[in-house]
Structure 1
Amino acid sequence: MACRVFLVSFLLLLAASPAISTNSEGAVLRALKARLSDPSNVLQSWDASLVNPCTWFHVTCDAHNRVIRLDLGNSNVSGPLAPELGHLQDLQYLELYGNNFEGRIPEELGNLKSLISMDLYGNRLEGGIPKSFAKLKSLRFLRLNNNKLSGSIPRELVTLSNLKIFDVSNNDLCGTIPIDGPFATFPLQSFDNNSRLNGPELQGLVPYDFGC
């Protein structure tokens, strides 16, 4: 009898786990919403009374009701990025381009192990590119252009073997452009209009961060 009760309890917990997951993901997205100014009410459907965020506009889920895409491109929102976004473990596409996001890019975004594409271009983000992005081994597209980013390009990013597109043009980056790994294939236009950025390291010289 005790074994039967345990089995029933376990099955109920297992059945509830997707709801628990989506509820926590809803909390993550509400944490982002709480930080933002939203004059066009694009986040109006992000209703805290709903357990499942998969019914919200600009949010896409997989068959297991886990958030795999967040698309707020050109949505006229402003404010800082929430570090809580790093808890969206199944997120594949983070599309936040063409807004007025400001402040630093959270290091916690490096925890998005399933991420394929991150588009943060056309905002007012500042500070450095997080070294934690080197953990995004599934990443294929990283567009950070047209922001106010500074500092050097983390050499840790040369380990991102799947990275096909990398654009940091129109920022205030400094130092040298890596040439290892995927950086051997990126066109120089990807680095345009960074007045303190030098390179690439063509002569096998030891990398030097000019002015960083």
Structure 2
Amino acid sequence: MGIRALFHLLLVLLFSALASTHANTEGDALYALRRAVKDPQGVLKSWDPTLVDPCTWFHVTCDADNRVTRLDLGNGRLSGRLVPELGKLERLQYLEVYMNNLVGPIPKELGGLKSLISLDLYHNNLTGTIPSSLSKLTNLKFLRLNGNRLTGRIPRELTKLGNLKILDVSNNDLCGTIPTSGSLSKFTEESFVNNPRLEGPELMGFVRYDVGGDCK
């Protein structure tokens, strides 16, 4: 075998090994989610950890490099929790887990999903605060967290999301004031309504003020 052919073979083996490593890492991350939820309708039945490539699983979309780019788990009657391992899906663009019965916090590790375009967690029973780490999602266009039980302030760091086109945090229990600078300045009252403890010019119609230190 010539040197050039040997070099080509080594490259093929290297890329194959890298692809397998990524598949194992992403498969492990997805299987962590499967273990953390109850699935009465068998939505995740095909998520078999003995299969090296998670791209063969239902509701999982991958790119040409067999990297996970989309999870479509909306309206699946899933209950349980989101897991921090989801932050390992480096090329994930769409995380769609809306209209389920998920509880617990939004993992701060989701802020590591640098390719994310859409984060749809609406109509669950999620609690805790909106992680400020979501401000790292510079490609994010759609952020829908409405219809949960989220508390605390709207992180001011979210004003850095320059590509954001849709924001909906309505129907939660958020408090404090509504950030009005940067990307959040373009959203109307509809994005924030039905948070009884939330104050701000978009809702109150006058100069924004802070409600103090009792916002939790």
Over aligned residue pairs, what C-alpha RMSD do you find?
Answer: 2.1
1:50-199 to 2 correspondence within 5 Å? Answer: 50-199=51-200
Q: Which runs of 5+ in 1 are unaligned?
A: none
Q: Is the 8 A contact 1:158 1:178 kept in 2?
A: yes
Kindly provide the CA deviation profile for residues 89-121 of structure 1, in whole angstroms up to 9, marking residues without a partner as x: 000000000001100111000000000000000
Give the CA deviation at 1:208: 5.1
1:25 aligns with 2:26: yes
1:68 Cα deviation from its structure 2 partner: 0.2
Cα separation, 2, equivalents of 1:80 and 1:183: 28
The 1:141/1:78 distance shift into structure 2, 3 A limit, reads: same
Change (3 A) 1:14 1:54: same
Is the CA contact 2:92–2:115 (under 8 Å) kept in the aligned structure 1? yes
User: Residues 90 and 114 of structure 1 are in contact (CA less than 8 Å); yes or no, is this contact kept in structure 2?
Assistant: yes
Instruction: Give the match for residue 42 of structure 1.
Output: 43
The Cα shift of 1:6 comes to 8.6
SS of the aligned residue for 1:102 comes to: strand
Question: TM-score scaled by structure 2?
Answer: 0.91
Q: Partners in 2 of 1:35 and 1:171 — Cα distance?
A: 24
Q: Which amino acid aligns with 1:140?
A: K
When structure 1 is superposed on structure 2, of 198-207 and 140-149 the one drifting more is 198-207
Deviation at 1:85, TM superposition (A): 0.1
In the alignment, residue 43 of structure 2 is paired with which amino acid? V
Structure 1 length as normaliser, TM-score? 0.93
Name structure 2 gaps, 5 residues minimum: none
Contact 2:200–2:207 (Cα < 8 Å) also in 1: no
1:211 alignment partner, one of 200, 211, 214: 214
Shift of 1:19: 2.1
Task: Provide the C-alpha distance between the structure 2 equivalents of 1:135 and 1:209, rounded to a whole number of angstroms.
Answer: 27
